[in-house]
Amino acid sequence: MSNRNVASGLKNLDWITLSLYLSLVAIGWLMIYAVSYEEGRGFTEMVFSLDNNVGKQTMFIGISLTMLLLLLFIDWNFWRTFAYLIYATTMVMLVLVLILGKEINNATSWFAIAGFTLQPSEFAKLGACLAMSAYLSTYSTQISKFKSQVTAIGLFLLPIILILLQPDAGSALVFTSFLIVLFREGFNANVYILGISVTIVSILGLVFNPVYILFGLALLAILAMVNFQKRKKLYWLVGFVAYVVLSISAITQGLEIPVLAITGVVLLVMTYLQYQGRRRDIIKPMYFLLIVAGFFAVASNYTFNKLPRHQQDRLNVWLQPSKADPRGALYNVIQSKNTIGSGGLQGKGFLEGTMTKLNYVPEQSTDFIFCTVGEEQGFVGTVGIVGLFLLLLLRITILAERQRADFSRYYAYSFAGILFVHFFVNIGMTMGLVPVIGIPLPFISYGGSSILAFTMMTGILLSLDSNRLTA
């Protein structure tokens, strides 16, 4: 990159994004220090020693900041030119880790190198961002066409499959975030409606007897008939009465149908709005949707019953806590909630977290780092962390919309999607809102692979944005 372009790039650097990044990294370091803190050990001894997490994280942050600076000097065209090569390299790493990787916590997801571990799935997110951006920005790509849709989905489906082989369901889930950028660029909205419908009914199939769900769907079919026979009052009245009678019968028999029926009605309205003005055309898609929903309700329940006990327990912790063992799978969530709640409004203070010191929550420096924030900084601190992430996501969206180059816009949205899923799932699982699947909180959790990968993604975004006027 020429000196002129470097100077221009640094001059146009988005300092708001950089400040939010540095703030989150600094807070993360402080929280890791709080978790790693040992009475009697000096500050310097802990920070510059590689025998504890805070010393290692200090080294990782130093490397990350150096890398961030170097990324600002790389020509932005480099990333589009070598996007597919970088993607291919990360896919090869995902294959090699299955053969040469080190098994930790029943997953072969890490390379062991000189006493440190490297997780290739973190860097695969960067490769997928670049490849997706390069593909969508190609003039021959038309996301409205089936061929382009299949190719785009294949780009993030491949790493999902390879990561599931490790197995690491949490990291694999993150790649579904690319559906966000595809939706932004015009992917068929009806596919999302179908996907959301199937997901909701599949989840309900884990909680309720699928027979009840099929019964609820039958009620929805009657309701659909009522909706489409409004002009024929007799049919409308008969259908409405039948729906009410069956609903009351279900309630008196103790069937938990009302929740299913309400959910189904919402899906019915969503689909109806998609076909507004074409009432006759909606009937077949509607009943097709009900049939598909019924199939997945039965399939999800059957699959759940075939899962190993520990995997069933993880889902029960989320969906049916009363059925989970409080000393087993539910233990982490209980301790996490207690730790966060013990902080109160303003927290116990930095290094004053008793439950943090006693290591009540497993994996407290990685997946459950948010618990330390809750205990030591209280409600104020947790809201502050959430606020910083939301501001960063909002800022990335603003950067995306002001890009002249399609590649830069697609990259920004891809990065935002990955960041959002990490943020939402990690904080959600510490509060029992989503299953405990084990993914780090970006910039906050301990881990060299995570901080390096997210710093690289941030640095590339800053580089692309700072050169937007010359793109």
Considering the entire predicted model, what is its pTM?
0.84
Amino acid at 84: Y
Amino acid at 434: V
Structure tokens at 469: 């006027």
Contacts of 50 (CB under 8 A, 6+ apart): 56, 59
Cα 77 to chain center, whole Å? Answer: 29
Measuring CA to CA, how many Å separate 276 from each of 7, 194, 463?
Answer: 53, 17, 44
Q: How far apart are CA 438 and CA 421, in angstroms?
A: 12
SS3 108: strand
Among the listed residues 152, 171, 150, the one whose alpha carbon sits nearest the alpha carbon of residue 160: 171
The torsion angles phi and psi of 104, rounded to 5 degrees, stand at -135, 130
Alpha-carbon dihedral angle through residues 405, 131, 176, 161, given to the nearest 10 degrees:
180
- The DSSP secondary-structure symbol of 323 reads G
pLDDT of residue 42: 76
Q: How far apart are CA 367 and CA 353, in angstroms?
A: 18
Among the listed residues 54, 58, 57, 173, the one whose alpha carbon sits nearest the alpha carbon of residue 121: 173
SS3 102: strand
Would you put residue 349 in left (φ > 0), alpha (ψ -120 to 50) or beta? Answer: left
SS3 393: helix
Contacts of 275 (CB under 8 A, 6+ apart): 281, 282, 285
Structure tokens at 465: 């944005």
> Exposed/middle/buried for 318, CB within 10 Å: 0-12, 13-18, 19+?
buried
Amino acid at 31: M
Residue environment code for 207-239, b if the CB has 16+ CB neighbours within 10 A, otherwise e: bbebebbbbbbebbbbbbbbbbbeeeeeebeeb
> Quick count: other Cβ atoms within 10 Å of Cβ 132?
24
| 297-311 per-position pLDDT tens digit | 888 888 888 777 767
3-state helix, strand, coil in the chain (%, to 5): 70, 5, 25
Q: What does each of the 471 residues of the chain score in pLDDT, given as a tens digit?
A: 445 455 455 678 999 999 999 999 999 999 999 988 887 777 787 888 888 889 999 999 999 999 999 998 888 889 999 999 999 999 999 999 999 988 887 788 889 887 788 999 999 999 999 999 999 999 888 888 888 889 999 999 999 999 999 988 889 999 999 998 998 888 877 778 777 877 888 888 887 777 777 766 766 666 666 666 555 556 556 655 665 666 666 656 555 555 545 545 554 554 454 445 545 555 666 667 677 777 888 888 888 887 777 677 777 777 777 766 677 667 778 888 888 988 888 889 888 888 887 778 878 888 899 999 999 999 999 999 999 999 999 999 999 999 989 999 999 999 999 999 999 999 998 888 888 888 899 999 999 999 999 999 999 999 999 887 776
In the chain, where the domains are located: 3-186+357-466, 190-306
- Give me the residues paired with residue 104 across strands: 107
> Quick count: other Cβ atoms within 10 Å of Cβ 416?
23
Among the listed residues 223, 120, 232, 222, the one whose alpha carbon sits nearest the alpha carbon of residue 171: 120
Q: How far apart are CA 245 and CA 261, in angstroms?
A: 14
Among the listed residues 455, 464, 353, 439, the one whose alpha carbon sits nearest the alpha carbon of residue 175: 439
The total number of residues shown for the chain amounts to 471
Structure tokens at 80: 């589009």
Whether a cis peptide bond, with omega within 30° of 0, leads into 258 is no
